[in-house]
Chain A
Amino acid sequence: MPEPILNVDDLVTGYGRQPVLHGLSLSVLEGEALGLIGPNGHGKTTLFRTVSGLNRAWSGQIRFMGEDITGLSAAQIAERGLVHVPQGNRLFPQMSVEDCLDLGAFSPAKRDNGAATRDRVFAIFPRLAERRKQRCRTLSGGERQMVAIGCGLMGQPKLLILDEPTLGLSPRLKGELRDAIGAIIETGVQVLIVEQDPEFLRRLTTRQVYIEEGRVREDFDAGSLEHDKMMEMYFGLR
């Protein structure tokens, strides 16, 4: 079995003295797209924030492409190609879409490819090309989400982790974003996505993980019969 691209092992963290993740373990294997699902407030965002270095791990280990990244700063982790697109992002409100995207490729090693990457982002989200001079503050929720994902792509990720990318969007926009993320996956970028909609995840990802109370509760292979079980757990249906 090949080494997982991301490996979270027995992770414990929280806020203040209150633990949120109680020994969570999880791997993203080479080539797969992993989806996370689970009720609100059970630690999915906290997991992402700890993986990307915004929060500190209390114990446990996080490995990315074979390297121990536990305790590295967010900037160092982003430089290595693990890029986090945070939930409900307000971006850099006073900056233009263009500047915001450019800053996604801030680290010197990535600047050189910045222009080419930006063209790819505009190809995936043509609407951003039209609004390149507009300030981020004045964007709609959907456009903001597109810029956020675009910034993530500017970081030239090996693994892109997306936290509820369609939160609060209309079904039509949600479909648009789903197709865009699908296109991104096809270019060879691996993704780890949190979403509240099992159907959304089933269409985009190859495997889903159910997270509850700061632990992995169950692992599902997409398309398997167990999908019904996931729906049951999530919605409490039988």
Chain B
Amino acid sequence: MDFADGALSAFRAVFASGLVLSSLYVMIAAGLALVWSTLGIFNFAHGAIMVIGAYVAWTVSIDLGLGQVAGLVAALAASALIGVAVNRLLVQPFLAQPNIILITVMTTLSGAFFLENSALLIWGPRIKQLEKIVDGNVFLAGTAISGHEAVIIVVAPLMMLALWAFLRFSWTGKAIRAVAQNREFAELSGIRPERMYAIAFAISAALAGFAGVMLGAIRFITPTLGADPLIKAMIVVILGGLGSIPGTILGAYLVGFGEAVSTYFLGAYWTQAMMFFVFILILVIRPNGLMGRE
């Protein structure tokens, strides 16, 4: 009886926190995967862009007092803009190089440091927090979670659906995929690759900014808030088989729930090590990720 009760409450706690974590990882990883599948690079500034999104939302909604909607819109616009700048300054100049992946690891990593330090200069070392989108609590599987977390849980899959439909059905989405699959043939079809790269980067960064606004209300905003989620999101993208949306979703829920289970039973201290261990183990068994093709 005691054991059953304990197991049940453990399950409840893990389920709720796992779902919240997974949903955040889906949002962050989807942008990373979009850029990877379009340009074949990892954007290490993705986490820092997320943080800037959170800070901008804080400035507009709390500091200037213009409200949450304005804060969100400003955050999306600012992060998209930074995404376009990262692409233009740190990625495009090196696209023709044969070792593009390695070069852009270094350039986007420096971009991340630049953004983090700029955030420190602009917003200072004092931690900040955003207001939750909705007040009150929601009961999920017998555990109380905040309404804000419930919004995250609901919005994440909807965003994935929207992203999938955009890439699948819209002219621009199809053109982004076309450039990814065969750049030269896309050009001969009248598609301008530079424009598609910029759009892909803008969408990716806006997704990061959105995740930043969501995260900024349940964690404290610091310049390095993006570092840990970025690593998790990279694990998600690699696990998911680099770039496919279904793979990314599967990877995100796996990592999110894995982290929740491990944190509950092993504690936060061991969870990092545990995650990397499982990550490497999976890649040994399936080197192309869970849903990756040859």
Q: Which residues of A contact B (CB under 8 A)?
A: 52-54, 73-75, 78-79, 83-86, 89-95, 99, 102-107, 110-111, 151, 154-155
Contact = CB atoms under 8 A, between A and B. Distances in A.
B interface secondary structure, majority: helix
**9 smallest beta-carbon distances between A and B, as pairs:** A74-B187, A107-B190, A78-B190, A92-B181, A106-B190, A75-B192, A75-B190, A103-B189, A92-B178
Contacts of A93: 181-182
B188 A74 contact: yes
Q: Which of A52, A54, A92 has the most CB of B within 10 A?
A: A92
Interface residues of B, number: 16
B171 interface: yes
B105 to A, nearest CB: 26
Contacts of B184: 54, 74, 86
Given A73-B192, A75-B192, A92 B187 contact: no
Contacts of B191: 75, 103, 106
B188 A84 contact: yes
26 contacts: A54-B187, A54-B188, A74-B184, A75-B187, A75-B189, A75-B191, A75-B192, A78-B188, A86-B184, A86-B185, A90-B182, A90-B185, A91-B182, A92-B178, A92-B181, A99-B174, A103-B175, A103-B189, A104-B189, A106-B175, A106-B189, A106-B191, A110-B190, A151-B185, A155-B189, A155-B190
Contacts of B182: 90-93
Contacts of A53: 187
B186 interface: yes
Contacts of A151: 185, 189
Contacts of B192: 73, 75
A111 B172 CA distance: 13
B177 interface: yes
A192 to B, nearest CB: 15
A106 B171 contact: yes
A16 to B, nearest CB: 13
Contact of B190 (A79, A86, A99): A79
B189 A73 contact: no
A94 B181 contact: yes
Contacts of A104: 189
B188 A103 contact: no
A52 B190 CA distance: 11
Given A99-B174, A103-B178, A111-B171, A73 B187 contact: yes
A54 B186 CA distance: 11
A96 to B, nearest CB: 10
Nearest to A107: B190
A90 B192 CA distance: 19
B193 to A, nearest CB: 8
Contact of A95 (B178, B187, B190): B178
B174 A103 contact: yes
Contacts of B174: 95, 99, 102-103
Contact of A78 (B177, B178, B181, B189): B189
Contact of B177 (A83, A95, A110): A95
A52 B187 CA distance: 10
B138 to A, nearest CB: 39
Given A106-B171, A111-B171, A86 B188 contact: yes
Nearest to B244: A94
Contacts of A84: 188
Given A74-B184, A155-B189, 14 more contacts: A54-B184, A54-B187, A75-B187, A78-B190, A79-B190, A85-B188, A86-B185, A92-B178, A92-B185, A93-B182, A99-B174, A103-B186, A106-B171, A106-B191
Contacts of A54: 184, 187-188
Contacts of A111: 171
Interface string B180-208: 01101111111110000000000000000
Contacts of B189: 75, 78, 103-104, 106, 151, 154-155
Interface string B156-190: 00000000000000010011011001101111111
A76 B58 CA distance: 43
A90 B175 CA distance: 16
